[in-house]
């Protein structure tokens, strides 16, 4: 019979219905593959975290004495950190560099294995990392209230970091970190250890949310030679420490925290990479922080460090040297401009212990710091 007048006509050479259905199925499969690739890319991106911060500063230190000697007024970039962390179920990669006017340096380079079956409660890390000692040493400089660590930490843990291996473990509220390190730190001026001696560093702590703390220990040796030595000798490099942090709300203004730490040891580093071989020293600090609302805080810190370096009497009028004990009182006012910008104004008053008629140098320090982070 002749076709109806209103029936659609199919041009010659047009694909059949089966061919069109097959083409549509291929397009759907292609879209599904693209969707799977996108999901995989997003999953990988979720495992990667890029972070960092910059600390710009202005500092003013008064003249050391009435003659106008010493003192300074300067701008600077204290830290310029860029950190990448990639975490999977069994492993973690972490690399952090510091880019400042003096150059670019490696701060952290960690390869971590999460022990299977422990739900990331037990891990082993190899590379360059912070010593697991105390509280202020491992604490990030971006979180600290004061621009620099206390004097005792700067002397006992001069670079905070070293190359070695570390085991981290957590069980309920308990925390344990044990590491074996070269011992000289990353500021020793060498990129490789210059002896076979290794240092054992450990921290056993607890975390109850409102109260945390722990005890630390360090045992190792430092090869060196004193003026009375004919050959190099392995001198004990030891530390013991205790730290405590309490967080509570007792003032309607906001949260309050009190933090303290004590460290004592023998053979320690000092300024200009100098090492005080076989010299005992100790120090401590106490920090009180009061938050005011969500964006402001004030803090006061008292810290003391006694080098115990065989100090002798000084001539009348002489300025005490680096071997004198120093107490420091510091005050800080902070304001947060949102989550990414923090401005701190800090005034510190070092009080150098003098003997005989020696004079305490006029070295009060004002620091204005702006920190931006992401």
Residues 171-200: tens digit of each pLDDT: 999 999 999 999 989 986 666 676 788 999
Q: Which residue has the tokens 């009348």?
A: 316
Q: Answer yes or no: is pLDDT of 312 > 50.
A: no
What pLDDT sits at residue 321?
60
Tell whether 41 is covered by a domain.
Answer: no
- State how many domains the chain has: 1
Q: Residue 24: helix, strand or coil by DSSP?
A: helix
User: Which of 3-17, 247-261, 343-357 ranks highest by mean pLDDT?
Assistant: 247-261
DSSP string of 253-322, one letter each residue: TEEEEEEEEEEEEEEEE-GGG-EEEEEEEEEEEEEEEEEETTTEEEEEEEEEEE------PPPTTPPP-T
Burial 21-49 (b: 16+ CB within 10 A, else e): eeeeeeeeeeeeeeeeeeeeeeeeeeeee
Please, which residues have CB within 8 angstroms of residue 10's CB and are 6 or more apart in sequence? none
Q: pLDDT per residue over 219-260, tens digit each?
A: 999 988 888 889 988 999 999 999 999 999 877 889 999 999
Proportion of the chain above pLDDT 70, given as a percent = 84
The DSSP call for residue 137 is T
Tell whether 197 is covered by a domain.
Answer: yes
CA distance 118 to 90: 10
What pLDDT sits at residue 313?
47
> Angle 100-327-309 (CA atoms, 0-180°, nearest 5)?
90
Q: What is the pTM of this model?
A: 0.85
Tell whether 38 is covered by a domain.
Answer: no
Average pLDDT, the chain: 88
Strand partners, 82: 52, 97
If you average pLDDT over residues 99-125, what whole number do you get? 97
Tell whether 273 is covered by a domain.
Answer: yes
If you average pLDDT over residues 299-328, what whole number do you get? 73
Where residue 235 sits, what CATH number does that domain have?
Answer: 2.40.160.10
CA distance 21 to 11: 18
Contact 100, 80 (CB under 8 A): yes
Tell whether 181 is covered by a domain.
Answer: yes
| Helix (H) or strand (E) segment spanning residue 45 | helix 17-47
Range of the domain at 66: 47-373
């Amino acid at each position: 019979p002749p076709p109806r007048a209103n029936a659609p006509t199919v041009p010659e050479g047009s694909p059949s219905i089966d061919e069109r259905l097959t083409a549509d199925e291929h397009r759907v499969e292609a879209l599904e593959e693209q969707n799977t690739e996108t999901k995989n890319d997003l999953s990988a991106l979720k495992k990667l975290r890029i972070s960092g911060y910059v600390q710009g500063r202005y500092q003013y230190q008064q003249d050391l004495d009435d003659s106008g000697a010493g003192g300074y007024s300067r701008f600077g970039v204290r830290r310029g950190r860029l950190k990448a962390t990639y975490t999977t179920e069994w492993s973690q990669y972490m690399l952090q560099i510091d880019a400042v006017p003096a150059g670019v340096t490696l701060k952290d380079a960690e390869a971590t294995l999460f022990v299977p079956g422990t739900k990331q409660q037990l891990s082993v890390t190899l590379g360059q990392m912070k010593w697991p000692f105390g509280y202020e040493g491992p604490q990030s400089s971006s979180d600290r209230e004061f621009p620099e660590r206390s004097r005792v930490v700067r002397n006992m843990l001069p670079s905070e970091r070293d190359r070695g291996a570390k085991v981290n473990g957590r069980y309920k509220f308990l925390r344990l970190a044990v590491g074996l390190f070269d011992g000289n730190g990353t500021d020793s001026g060498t990129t490789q250890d210059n002896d076979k001696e290794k240092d054992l560093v450990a921290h056993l702590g607890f975390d109850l949310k409102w109260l945390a703390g722990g005890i630390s220990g360090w045992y190792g040796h430092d090869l060196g030679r004193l003026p009375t030595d004919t050959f190099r000798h392995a001198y004990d490099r030891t530390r013991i420490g205790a730290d405590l942090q309490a967080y509570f709300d007792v003032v309607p203004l906001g949260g309050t925290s009190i933090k303290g730490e004590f460290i004592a040891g023998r053979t320690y580093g000092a300024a200009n990479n100098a090492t005080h071989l076989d010299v005992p020293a100790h120090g401590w600090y106490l920090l009180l922080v009061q938050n005011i609302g969500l964006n402001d805080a004030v803090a006061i810190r008292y810290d003391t460090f006694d080098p115990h370096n065989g100090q002798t009497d000084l001539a009348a009028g002489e300025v005490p040297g680096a071997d004198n004990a120093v107490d420091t009182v510091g005050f800080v006012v902070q304001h947060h401009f949102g989550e990414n910008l923090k401005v701190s104004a800090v005034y510190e008053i070092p009080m150098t212990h003098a003997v005989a008629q020696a004079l305490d140098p006029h070295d009060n320090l004002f620091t204005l710091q702006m920190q931006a982070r992401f």
